[in-house]
Amino acid sequence: SEQEASVQPLASAQAMAEKITHLRVMLRCRIVRGMNRKLYLSAECLVIFGLLPLIPVFYPIKGSLFASLWVLAILMLIVWKREHRLPLKPLIQFHHIPRDGLMLVLKRFAIAAPLMVAFIYVYDPERFFELPRERTQLWVMIMIFYPVLSVFPQEVIYRLFFCDRYQSLFTKPKVMLVVNGLAFGWGHLLFQNWVAVSMCAAGGMLFASTWRRTKSFPLVWIEHALYGCWVFTIGLGWYFYSGAVR
Distance CA 237, CA 78 (A): 31
List the one residue out of 218, 227, 233 whose CA is nearest residue 109.
Answer: 227
The distance of Cα 9 from the centroid of its chain, to the nearest Å, equals: 58
pLDDT-wise least confident of 80-84, 132-136, 187-191, 222-226: 80-84
Q: With 80 as the cut, is the pLDDT of residue 124 above it?
A: yes
Q: What is the pTM of this model?
A: 0.83
Q: What is residue 1's predicted lDDT score, i.e. its pLDDT? A: 52
